[in-house]
Structure 1
Amino acid sequence: MLIHLQIRNLAVVRQLNIDFRAGMTAITGETGAGKSIALDALGLCLGNRADVDLIRADNDKAEVTATFQCDDPNSPAAQWLAGEELVDTEEPNTCVLRRVITREGRSKAWINGTPVTAAQLKQLAPLLVNIHGQHEHQLLTRPEHQVQLLDAYARHQHLLADVSQAYQHWYQLRQRQKQLQQHQAETEARLQLLNYQVAELNEFALAEGEFELLENDHKRLANSAALLEDSAFALNAIFEGEHNNAYSLLQSALSRLEQQLDTDPGLTETVRLLSEASVQVEEAARELRRYQDAIELDDEQLLLTEARMTQALQLARKHQLAPQQLYEHHQQLLTELHALKENQAAADTIDTEVEQAAERYRRAAKALSESRLEAATELGQRIAASMQQLNMPHGRFVIEVTHQGQAPATRLGTDLVSFMVTTNPGQPLQALAKIASGGELSRISLAIQVITATQMITPTLMFDEVDVGVSGATAATVGKLLRQLGESNQVICVTHLPQVAAKAHQQLRVDKVIEGDNTETVMTHLDNNERIIELARLLGGDEITAATKANAAELLAVG
């Protein structure tokens, strides 16, 4: 519920603080006084486009702050705030919206002190306030708006969600089906090539790092004779030679120097190093023997290694890459082939999936249509009854719901919804858009707005001169309807009709004050006596007589 609205430097308002209460509140005032300023200001807080022309002429920025009471933690607004982490921890039952617009065209917004986007304000707006404008009847003739009104009355959001989800799933599958069909020929050609290439590489089966090993093996096998000869020479030179091999020479030198250690201990380090060298030479000799034993003069293995290397080189040239990259390339081709086969499998089943998704969508659309049809009967009867109360005694109102099972799919189903009406006896039902009388259309629109508002989850409803074209006893009925609505919702109504204003639980008057070159709008809560005077003005104009005051007092008493 809206409890306070603060406006600064907006249009002709310098500063305005308005407290709102539960029930029905009527806002009245002279033409041009700015009765709709509260609705315009609230619209800014709810995410409407920020127009710099709204800023008061003598200022650089305008600011609007709206405070709502959200006592129910399970209400949609409270749940949205919790989900967005925008709850005021100090005052969790309060929601404060603030909007600032500057002359430079910049706009800033806050929810409970946290900066937010205009898009977030628009998400929260319908959970707090529903504004019905004076031109609502113009929207009423549009088929898409008629569907929205019927769905709002039916309150079958779960069915709308089912249809929307089914539509999205079906649409995505059809897009996938189209892509697969477009690339089918290209995919088949690529599959044939990949199957051949992968089969060839699978047969060769080069292991990771194998080509490098083949190169090393080939070099060793091709030079095995030289390796054997050189290792034999080295072994003979360091250990096995009959004359003057390195080991025997080291041993001779070591023996002589050891005998001289007593003469000169300074030879100790030299003796130690020669002793270690002797051990190292002996160990090297053992390693050379083992190496010689391992060397094989294997021409057959050499031929086999050369053949595999040659095949690897040929495959690498075929695929236009280095032989060292052949293994990785093989793995990439395997991955691509697997993915293409999966796509082909999907292409084989996509038709069935599309058919199943279409069937699911049609079932969801049918269930939605049945719910619309049930709601249409009830809503049509209620609107017809309300029309008769609004001085259209012969009024009939029928909502036709035609389910087009095979019509093109939309997120809202496949129904054709038409508001059909007749206001005179003997006349056939016609589409609402064909009604000649603007006054009748205005009254029908008001009846629909009031009735559908009872089904909405929004706690605050605002009506901006929706009673245009209504007068007399009909106006009293309009006021009665709005007051009844105010018993369950907070209703704020801008009106020029005394019969409507008299039905309100409380009343605000808007005045335009001119001081010198400055014009300012002010808004005042009226007590009972002030309401009588204001109602008398609405009844008789600027000249208030005892008769108009008496009439106003009677209206207020009856209200």
Structure 2
Amino acid sequence: MLSHLSLKQFAVVDAADLAFGPGLTVISGETGAGKSLLVDALGLLSGVRADSGVVRHGADRAELVGEFDLSDAPLAREWLREQELDDGDETDAVRCIVRRIVRADGGSRAWVNGSPVTLTQLGDLAGRLAEIHGQHEHQALMARPSQLALLDAFGRTDALRAEVAAAARRWTSLLRERDALQARGDVTERIEWLTHQHAELERDALEPEALAKLLAEHRRHGHASDLISACELAAARLGGEEGPSVSRTVQQARNELQRVTEHEPRLGEVDAMLDNAVIQLDEALALLDRVRSDLDLDPASLEALDRQLGRVHELARKHRVTPENLAARRDEIASELEELAGATTRLETLDADIARARDAWRAAADRLGAARRSAAQELSTSTTAIIAELGMGGGRFDIEFEALGDERPDPNGAERVEFLVAANPGQPARALRKVASGGELSRISLAIEVASLGLDAVPTMVFDEVDTGIGGAVAHIVGQKLRALGARRQVLCVTHLPQVAAHGHAHYRVSKSAQAGVTVSAVQVLDGRQREEEIARMIGGVELTREARAAAKRLLADVD
């Protein structure tokens, strides 16, 4: 919902700051005062291209700022998150500030929540915030995707449309899988090559733990001679083959100390330590014996270990990885082989899966199409009746369906729609986007919105000169319809008819005056008394007669 609109140096407006609320807000004023400037400003905030003519004479730039409450605009909130134009603050997540500056040289810039955006982005956001009815280039309802969305909202086809979208995604996924498999071509040669590589990598144990064990064993065999000599010498010295035995010497020391321990208790601790030392020495000698017995000068084993290490390093160079990563490379090749082996079989079954997915999409699309045609009949009947009430007797509203092929999956279904209108009896129905009269177009748009109960997702609707070419009882009906629509959506309406203006929940007046020889427009919100005076002016012209004031009171009283 549009909550604030600020204009500076815009056309004939020096400065204006307007606040808007829910319901129907009407904007009136004398001819030429600039009533439609507010609509033009919203158009520029919606991404319409600007020229220097919108900058007030003598100013270097025009500035427009619109603030929107997003509590009723979930699509806009989602778009802002996708574009990263919300700052993540929960407070700011329910509001949006759109700013645009147009320079006197015709250039312009735009921002959303302080971040610069393109005109395309501005248009995308605006399409989720407001619809402007009355100018062809601004009409969201003119776009066929918007028409289809409105029909689906009217027919409440969300569940059916979700089924079609899900079926389309399944079908698309299978088509992409087939394309990817076919793009590989004949994989026989690659399978053969990978099989050879995998066999090479399978020959030896390549896990990091196995490689560490291999290196350790290679070092032991490579230094076997030194290891044997060291073990034998150590055993000889510890065991007493070369001089006194270390264990016997320690035991003799213990015997000497034990004779005098009673005179010095601390010597008991020394005796315990020496006892442990004897035990450790005996265990060391036993381990030395086992190590020595495991060692042997075996050139053949060393040669075999050399060959095995050589193969590991050669494989590492071949696959351009470190030896520690060879096992991972072997597993990658195994995975690819498994995938390729299943590719041929998968291609054989994929065509059948695609056919079933297409049939499922077709069935879901047919159900959605039937629901749409039923909703279209109801919407056409209701809109045609309202068109007649709005002064276009004999006019009719139709919805045309265009069937699409089923060669490729479409998440939106198997058809597109076009809104058709015949504004007068005897005329052929034409596409809504080709209706020439701005007033007729606005009224037709109003009829569609009222008939569809304002079910489209856009929270703000703007009607520019919706009452052109009508008066009397029809004008009163237009006002009633706008007010009814305002009960469900925020509605802004530029009007010159008192019967329409009287139905507003809020009322702005645009007036003009000459200041220093320059025409300036001002916008003022009207209270109860001022509103009565404005409606009286709309009835009787410049001179406010007693009769005009009485008629204005009656109009307002009839609405209340």
Instruction: Report the equivalent of 1:25.
Output: 25
Instruction: Report the equivalent of 2:289.
Output: 290
Instruction: Report the equivalent of 1:307.
Output: 304
Instruction: Report the equivalent of 2:358.
Output: 358
Letter in 2 for 1:527: R
Computing the radius of gyration from Cα coordinates, the structure with the larger value is 1
Q: Which runs of 5+ in 2 are unaligned?
A: 257-273
Distance 2:391 2:547 in 1: 26
Instruction: Report the equivalent of 2:532.
Output: 528
CA change 1:502–1:535 in 2 (3 A) is farther
Distance 1:30 1:421 in 2: 32
Matches within 5 A, 1:123-162: 129-135=130-136, 143-162=144-163
Distance 2:386 2:537 in 1: 31
Matches within 5 A, 1:386-397: 386-397=386-397
Distance 1:439 1:60 in 2: 32
Matches within 5 A, 1:198-217: 198-206=198-206, 208=208, 210=210, 213-214=213-214, 217=217
Count of aligned pairs between the two proteins? 515
Instruction: Report the equivalent of 1:269.
Output: none
Q: CA RMSD in A?
A: 5.2
Any conservation in 2 of the 1:400–1:417 contact (CA below 8 Å)?
A: yes
Distance 2:306 2:322 in 1: 14
- 463-472 or 227-236, which deviates more: 227-236
Matches within 5 A, 1:197-346: 197-206=197-206, 208=208, 210=210, 213-214=213-214, 217=217, 221=221, 286=285, 290=289, 293-294=292-293, 296-297=295-296, 299=298, 302-307=299-304, 309-314=306-311, 316-317=313-314, 320-321=317-318, 325-326=322-323, 328-342=325-339, 345=342
Task: Kindly provide the CA deviation profile for residues 76-121 of structure 1, in whole angstroms up to 9, marking residues without a partner as x.
Answer: 56995999765559xx9xx6654445578565554xxxx6776999
Task: Kindly provide the CA deviation profile for residues 330-380 of structure 1, in whole angstroms up to 9, marking residues without a partner as x.
Answer: 431222321452465474565455445434433443333222112101111
Distance 2:287 2:410 in 1: 85
Distance 1:292 1:440 in 2: 105
Determine helix, strand or coil for the equivalent of 1:294: helix
Give % identity.
33
Matches within 5 A, 1:24-63: 24-41=24-41, 48=47, 58=59, 62=63
Instruction: Report the equivalent of 1:262.
Output: none
Deviation at 1:492, TM superposition (A): 2.1
Any conservation in 2 of the 1:13–1:521 contact (CA below 8 Å)?
A: yes
Matches within 5 A, 1:469-484: 469-470=469-470, 474-484=474-484
Instruction: Report the equivalent of 1:267.
Output: none
Instruction: Report the equivalent of 2:370.
Output: 370
Letter in 2 for 1:134: Q
Any conservation in 2 of the 1:422–1:428 contact (CA below 8 Å)?
A: yes
Distance 1:37 1:324 in 2: 70
Letter in 2 for 1:411: P
CA change 1:369–1:360 in 2 (3 A) is same
Distance 1:285 1:343 in 2: 58
Any conservation in 2 of the 1:443–1:469 contact (CA below 8 Å)?
A: no
Distance 1:314 1:500 in 2: 93
Any conservation in 1 of the 2:46–2:127 contact (CA below 8 Å)?
A: no
CA change 1:384–1:358 in 2 (3 A) is same
- 333-342 or 201-210, which deviates more: 201-210
CA change 1:28–1:343 in 2 (3 A) is farther
Deviation at 1:294, TM superposition (A): 1.7
Distance 1:553 1:322 in 2: 92
Determine helix, strand or coil for the equivalent of 1:412: coil
Instruction: Report the equivalent of 1:167.
Output: 168
Instruction: Report the equivalent of 1:270.
Output: none
Matches within 5 A, 1:175-214: 175-186=176-187, 188-206=188-206, 208=208, 210=210, 213-214=213-214
Length-normalised TM-score, structure 1? 0.70
Deviation at 1:22, TM superposition (A): 5.5
Any conservation in 1 of the 2:109–2:116 contact (CA below 8 Å)?
A: no
Instruction: Report the equivalent of 2:12.
Output: 12
Distance 1:376 1:4 in 2: 36
Task: Kindly provide the CA deviation profile for residues 260-304 of structure 1, in whole angstroms up to 9, marking residues without a partner as x.
Answer: xxxxxxxxxxxxxxx9xxx9xx989958972784265465xx424
Instruction: Report the equivalent of 1:509.
Output: 509
Distance 1:464 1:438 in 2: 8
Matches within 5 A, 1:415-430: 415-422=415-422
Any conservation in 1 of the 2:170–2:357 contact (CA below 8 Å)?
A: yes
CA change 1:69–1:529 in 2 (3 A) is farther
CA change 1:149–1:327 in 2 (3 A) is closer
Distance 1:450 1:79 in 2: 23
Any conservation in 2 of the 1:24–1:504 contact (CA below 8 Å)?
A: yes
Any conservation in 2 of the 1:174–1:354 contact (CA below 8 Å)?
A: yes
Any conservation in 2 of the 1:154–1:375 contact (CA below 8 Å)?
A: yes
Deviation at 1:48, TM superposition (A): 4.5
Distance 2:321 2:555 in 1: 99
Any conservation in 1 of the 2:391–2:470 contact (CA below 8 Å)?
A: no
Any conservation in 2 of the 1:52–1:101 contact (CA below 8 Å)?
A: no
Any conservation in 2 of the 1:163–1:364 contact (CA below 8 Å)?
A: yes
Letter in 2 for 1:290: D
Q: Which runs of 5+ in 1 are unaligned?
A: 259-274
Instruction: Report the equivalent of 1:265.
Output: none
- 348-357 or 527-536, which deviates more: 348-357
Letter in 2 for 1:180: L
Deviation at 1:446, TM superposition (A): 4.1
